[in-house]
Structure 1
């Protein structure tokens, strides 16, 4: 996927990408490859694959969630900045908070934010379970995302505590998530989440399947959640 295809395919979905934004994506690509030689950020480094499998895939969330109605976004376990940084480039009004447990990745993300001259982006080094206990981040975000981080029963405990009542959690998945959704029923009840819908799409060139699971936050997070760091992965709800 070259930049011309990238721009055209996004425009077909109602997402506009101007010259400045395309330059930001190109800088993002260059930094990703440069830093990837020093640390493991991604196994995908070929330009056209990065544009499709990382940039386009990240922005695909905007096909199903009206970004203009969201004022702030939290990205949990963001890795190399997906999906939050591509979304921020396309929707500059978003205030973005990125949480990742690896300090090296946070160093990359801070350099990326500086190089792209992005405003209102905060990069936090910490475990989701710990950061979600901080009052400034708990029950605060219109939209929370996670892309291919863990099974939904675990993700709900990582992510729903960040969502404000009435807000949305969007889990971005590859394979069909039906089994994960069945397994996640208890975690949804406990963490005040309610499944709204599941969207399916295919990447436009590679044609691999993607799924976006949209969950409504119905009430404030109960005080006992999230449990201490490490517990959700070892003992999913």
Structure 2
């Protein structure tokens, strides 16, 4: 199937020149996503143009605001069907990627996907973020940690910050304006040793729906008491 011209042209405007192999990887990704989605609920979006815009382009947009060429290790928390980590891994093959998801069926899909796309250095882990963050090899270990449409910022911080190394970045990928969430998360940011860096706004190229990326820098090691046991961060967000 022919590559989508608008997709490659828009990425090239941001310095991402896709090879034929990378185009094939995106095409295979879409095909496998649509195929597996008939057997399990991965996404409500399967039409090709929509997947490329709302999933692939949206995921890769993180690299418009963070220099992924300078990132070695990245973790994607609550990745679902692999967003944003797999599209970013396709575009930036040097990344070492950890994907954490609490649903084993999704991990099975992502493991199969990484194999079919011939992606190396991708580790797919089944488990709750609160539990995996206490594993020594993953704690305070990643240059960049992402989460896309998972939870509110005051909850996401406790999920994600324990994975980020000191001086590293946490990128929360949001839809509508997150200013209210940022205000609600002020106390949790301080408690978890993080500081707001910047909020970037953009629109998807065709649908023109809003997207925001909240960048937070980790200033010190996460206090040992965080994250709290599985389920608590959602039930009792830090305030």
**Band of TM-score, shorter chain:** over 0.9
Q: Residue 145 of structure 2 aligns to a residue in which SS?
A: strand
1:113 match: secondary structure:
helix
Name the residue aligned to 1:34. Answer: 35
What is the count of residue pairs matched by the alignment? 236
Aligned residue for 1:98?
Answer: 99
Establish whether residue 20 from structure 1 lines up as the match of residue 18 from structure 2: no
Question: What residue is the counterpart of 2:139 in the other structure?
Answer: 138
How far is the alpha carbon of 1:16 from its aligned partner?
A: 1.7
Q: Distance in 2 between matches of 1:14 and 1:3?
A: 17
**Superposed displacement of residue 17, structure 1:** 1.1
For residue 234 of structure 1, report the CA deviation from its aligned partner.
Answer: 0.2
Give deviations 1:180-200, integer Å, cap 9, x for gaps: 000001110111110000000
Secondary structure of the 1:45 match is coil
Give the secondary-structure state (helix, strand or coil) at the position aligned to 2:188.
helix
Q: Deviation of residue 3 (structure 1)?
A: 1.4
Q: Structure 2: any 5+ residue segments left out of the alignment?
A: none
TM-score by length of 2: 0.98
Q: Where do residues 22-171 of structure 1 align in structure 2 (5 Å cutoff)?
A: 22-171=23-172
Q: Which runs of 4+ in 1 moved over 6 A?
A: none
TM-score (norm 1): 0.99
Unpaired segments ≥5 residues, structure 1: none
* Whole-angstrom distance in 2 between the partners of 1:190 and 1:127: 21
Alpha-carbon separation, structure 1, partners of 2:186 and 2:137: 28
What is the CA-CA distance between 1:127 and the residue it aligns to?
0.1
How large is the RMSD of aligned CA atoms in angstroms? 0.6
**In the TM superposition, what is the alpha-carbon distance from 1:46 to its structure 2 partner?**
0.4
Distance in 1 separating the partners of 2:191 and 2:165? 15
Distance 1:129 1:33 in 2: 30
Cα distance in 2 for residues equivalent to 1:186 and 1:139:
20
